[in-house]
Structure 1
Amino acid sequence: MSRADRGGEAESTRSRGGRPLDSSRDPVFREAALALLAEVGYDRLTMEAVAVRAGAAKTTIYRRWPGKAELVVDALNSLKGDPDIADTGSLRHDLRALAESITSAEGELGARVTIGMVNALVRDTELRKVFADRFIAPRMTGFRTVFERAVARGEMPVGHDLDLLAGLFPALALQELVSTGELPDTRLACRLMDEVVYCLATAPPPAPDTTE
């Protein structure tokens, strides 16, 4: 079970009033939310529709998630899981392991779900904040961990913007989705890690800007 699953279950074991909740149906609610997200997009998804799809009362959903942003991001975390932050002793192999871990959870549903989120993230401030805090931040931390270990081993020069490097693969994956309608498969993800991310990470960092 992924950390996202455990976290979701831990949050759902008690209601906002403090009463214990039965978490056994939480996967059903998450699956319903993902199916609707893929079918109608985030804007048209409602908590009422999730309740109907799951065969539950709307109040049952609200006792677990305060709004659809929290429900959708929790469901997305459960779908994709936590990337495996391998420590192979090599930056190139660590990046390839990350690529394999990320793409192993993808597929047609993953692409349709991501497409369902993209437009909403641009317009919906609440969704953007929840998505950044609970989905993007943990994955950025994983990439940073890989780069920090590479710097400590001497594989990467000091001076790179690690946050910029950490956001590179997700940006490339989104570009592939926009261009083709599909997320990168494992083969393409490994190529992106090898030919783009690894090359930039191991190149000399730019000289400081002294023009100001």
Structure 2
Amino acid sequence: MTSAYAVHGRIRTTARHDELCRAALELLSELGYDRLTMDAVAARAGAGKATLYRRWTGKASMVADALSRMKAIPDEVDTGSLRGDLVAMTCGFGAGDDPFQTGVTAGLVSALVHDAELRDAFAEHFLAPRKRMQLTAFERAVRRGEIPPQQDFDLLAGVLPAMVFHRMMTTGQAPDADFALTVIDRVLLPLAHQPGPRRAPAPPDPAPPEPAPTEPIQTRPS
């Protein structure tokens, strides 16, 4: 039976959706995000532009969705260890040895800096699901007694994406699986095993103000 993909209240076949996403990513790799248009994607995929707008609100949501499908993550990860979970979540890394994925990444990165609509779509469709999975993995590791509680897991979940984008922006090199594993083993896991930050003791209540001195009452002699 043909699987389906639901979007905008309609059911679309996954195969056709994949074709449209592939066309979008090919043009992103060839032209860059700024020169990418919905018309060009429709022409590359042999589809009408209305077909694209039935699936996406514009090119930002289209590119974010296409990238999420190219670098898909498992629906659920629970390997029994924090490292195993984090490694399983990076199974989509591999752009370093794939010229197509490298071109897609290069076409995306520069646009993220100046295009707020693309940043919002990318954060919602690509980064947010991965962050939720990491937070779940950290919380599960706490329950197992594998790492201490009171960590800033929200901060830890942003470490790998931040280092990936730093690498791309400063070297032009797309991250690969080895890079992701290095970040996990040398940065994320050591930080996760550190004791949580100690809370500073609450300051003492301020002392009540001393009463102002009063002048003695002068009385006249009778």
TM-score category of the 2 structures, normalised to the smaller one: 0.7 to 0.9
Separation (CA, whole Å) in 2 of partners of 1:196 and 1:171: 12
- Residue in 2 that maps onto 1:11: 7
1:178 and 2:174 aligned: no
Q: Which has the larger radius of gyration?
A: 2
TM-score, structure 1 as length reference: 0.82
RMSD: 2.6
Give 5+ residue unaligned stretches, structure 1: 15-19
Which region of structure 1 is more displaced relative to structure 2, 199-208 or 177-186? Answer: 177-186
TM-score, structure 2 as length reference: 0.79
Displacement of 1:105 = 7.2
Residue pair 2:64, 2:122 contacting (<8 A) in 1 also:
yes
1:105-128 residue CA offsets vs partner (Å, 9 max, x unmatched): 773322322222222222222222
Number of residue pairs aligned between Structure 1 and Structure 2? 200
1:102 and 2:92 aligned: yes
The equivalences for 1:32-47 within 5 A come to 32-47=23-38
The equivalences for 1:40-189 within 5 A come to 40-83=31-74, 85-99=76-90, 101-104=91-94, 107-189=98-180
Residue pair 1:103, 1:186 contacting (<8 A) in 2 also:
yes
Separation (CA, whole Å) in 2 of partners of 1:135 and 1:123: 18
1:31-66 residue CA offsets vs partner (Å, 9 max, x unmatched): 110011111111111101111111222222222222
* Counterpart residue type for residue 117 of structure 1: L
Separation (CA, whole Å) in 1 of partners of 2:179 and 2:125: 26
Separation (CA, whole Å) in 2 of partners of 1:86 and 1:64: 28
Higher helix share: 1
* Counterpart residue type for residue 151 of structure 2: H
Give 5+ residue unaligned stretches, structure 2: 204-222
Q: CA 1:138/1:25 → structure 2, altered by over 3 Å: closer, same or farther?
A: same
Q: CA 1:40/1:209 → structure 2, altered by over 3 Å: closer, same or farther?
A: farther
Displacement of 1:21 = 5.7
Q: Percent identity?
A: 47
1:166-198 residue CA offsets vs partner (Å, 9 max, x unmatched): 010111122222343333322232121011100
Runs of 4+ in 1 over 6 A off after TM superposition: none
